[in-house]
Amino acid sequence: MEDLFSRSVHWFLFPLLFGALAVLQYYRHHAFSEMWQATALNTGFILLQLLLISVYFSIRNKKLVNITNGLLGLGDILLLLSITIYFSVLNFMAFYMVSLIITLLFWTAWRSVSTKTNKAIPLAGIQALLLISVLAGDWWAGLFDLANDSWLLNLVAK
């Protein structure tokens, strides 16, 4: 929420989020080895994305570009890395892609009605709101299991 209003997030919240999600994941599923395997794959996916974005902007600008200088906030990266512990691999990729699309649509609509000229997208803030709704669907509504890809595979197979 801080990202939406102040365009910054306290860094210490990310390790707390990672730890809380790790504990929840462990108590719900008790599959420690699977949890860390999925976390490693999810983290690798994010690191690959960051590398590709860095290479793209470096080629485009014909010099080495640090994407955290004006292109992508450190809070955006830390949020994504913090939630890698909770999601299975396909659920993480689905959340990542859907949250980027929803963020883009929301921000485009907001910019069309807002009088503010800030061009920075509050990616971590919007993704955090989406994460809250997805976690609510997982925990309380029982709509899906974010630690297991079977519900998503069944949905795609239909």
pLDDT, position 62: 95
Check: CB of residue 78 under 8 Å from CB of residue 106.
Answer: no
Residue type, 104: L
Percent of the residues in the chain that have a pLDDT greater than 70, as a whole number? 94
Judged against a pLDDT cut of 70, whether residue 147 lies above it is answered with yes
Phi, psi of 31 (to 5 degrees): -110, 75
pLDDT, position 7: 52
Of the given ranges (24-28, 31-35, 83-87, 138-142), which has the lowest mean pLDDT?
31-35
Q: Would you put residue 118 in left (φ > 0), alpha (ψ -120 to 50) or beta?
A: beta
What per-residue string of b and e applies to 82-103 under the rule 16 or more CB within 10 Å gives b? bbbbbbbbbbbbbbbeebeeeb
Nearest to 21 by CA among 143, 126, 148, 131: 131
More confident residue, 29 or 65: 65
